[in-house]
Amino acid sequence: MGEEQQSVAEIAQLYLRSLGNILYALELAALALDDQNKTVDAAFYRGIARKLAEARGRETKTAKA
């Protein structure tokens, strides 16, 4: 395999194909942070998950149109 330079967007797109796993991992992180009484940090990770889910929804809706 050649040494290709990939952009953050290209790498993110690769992993977003399995978005469910990423959302699950983000929620696990948020739950762990909640357990540590780090609610602001937990909200940060949940915010990332929400943005990813919304973007995926828009992408799916556009593809169906």
Look at residue 21 in the predicted model and tell me its pLDDT.
86
Contact 37, 8 (CB under 8 A): no
Look at residue 65 in the predicted model and tell me its pLDDT.
66
Look at residue 48 in the predicted model and tell me its pLDDT.
95
Q: Angle at the Cα of 8 (from 5 to 9), degrees rounded to 5? A: 110
pTM over 0.75: no
Contact 45, 26 (CB under 8 A): yes
**Distant-in-sequence, close-in-space partners of 54: CB < 8 Å, separation ≥ 6:** none
As a residue count, the chain comes to: 65
CA–CA separation, 61 and 43 (whole Å): 26
- The string of pLDDT tens digits covering residues 1-47 is 445 778 887 777 777 777 888 899 999 999 999 999 999 999 999 99
User: Residue 59 pLDDT more than 50?
Assistant: yes
